Amino acid sequence: MNSKNIIYLALLLLFNFTLVSQTPDQQECLVILGKISNSGSKIKLKKDKGYKVELICFNKLIETETKKSSKGFRFVLKKNAIYTIKISKEGFITKIVSINTTIDKNEGAPLTRLYFETELIKESMKTQLDEEGLEFPIALISYDALNGVFNLNEKYTQNIKQVIYSK
């Protein structure tokens, strides 16, 4: 099985949309804190417009923020929903992070925090990368019932990066 098939299978298993209702609970369960580590350049531009972060829930835009290149972002997510965070900046390839906040009905959902940092890829690099791989989320985050925390699926992230840079 090639790495693209593994990625497709992981997405299908992790984000089984049929198990999640289209309306999130009102209970907040996760605070996402993120930062783009290379959104500014080494030479500070006077007209740097920063970057844009969009929070999407079940394909509906919930919130949009424009941040200065050196600043992080923060979103509070509700239980039992599928979220997407889109990170974009002029001259860079948009990155997507997918978050599944599904938690078993019988489990409490203590408000937890998850921090991540990522780098954006310059648009000029696109011809050297696998375009299909760029369409997938760079990270998948979901609830780990065994440990009672939200985790980044590091194996998925390693695999998708391998696909993106395999061209």
Residues 71 and 98: beta-carbon distance below 8 Å:
no
Residues 85 and 54: beta-carbon distance below 8 Å:
yes
In single-letter form, the type of residue at position 28 comes to E
Whole-prediction pTM: 0.82
Burial class for 108, CB neighbours closer than 10 Å (0-12, 13-18, 19+): exposed
CATH of segment(s) 3-18+25-39+49-164: 2.60.40.10
- Give domain limits for the chain: 3-18+25-39+49-164
Q: Mind listing the pLDDT tens digit of every residue in the chain (167 residues)?
A: 455 555 554 554 445 444 444 566 788 999 999 998 875 544 444 567 889 999 999 999 999 999 988 899 999 999 999 999 999 999 999 999 999 999 887 666 678 899 989 899 999 999 999 999 999 999 999 999 888 889 999 999 999 999 999 87
Non-local CB neighbours of 135 within 8 Å, separated by 6+ positions: none
C-alpha span between 128 and 144 (Å, rounded): 35
HSE-up (13 A, CA, CB side) for residue 4 = 10
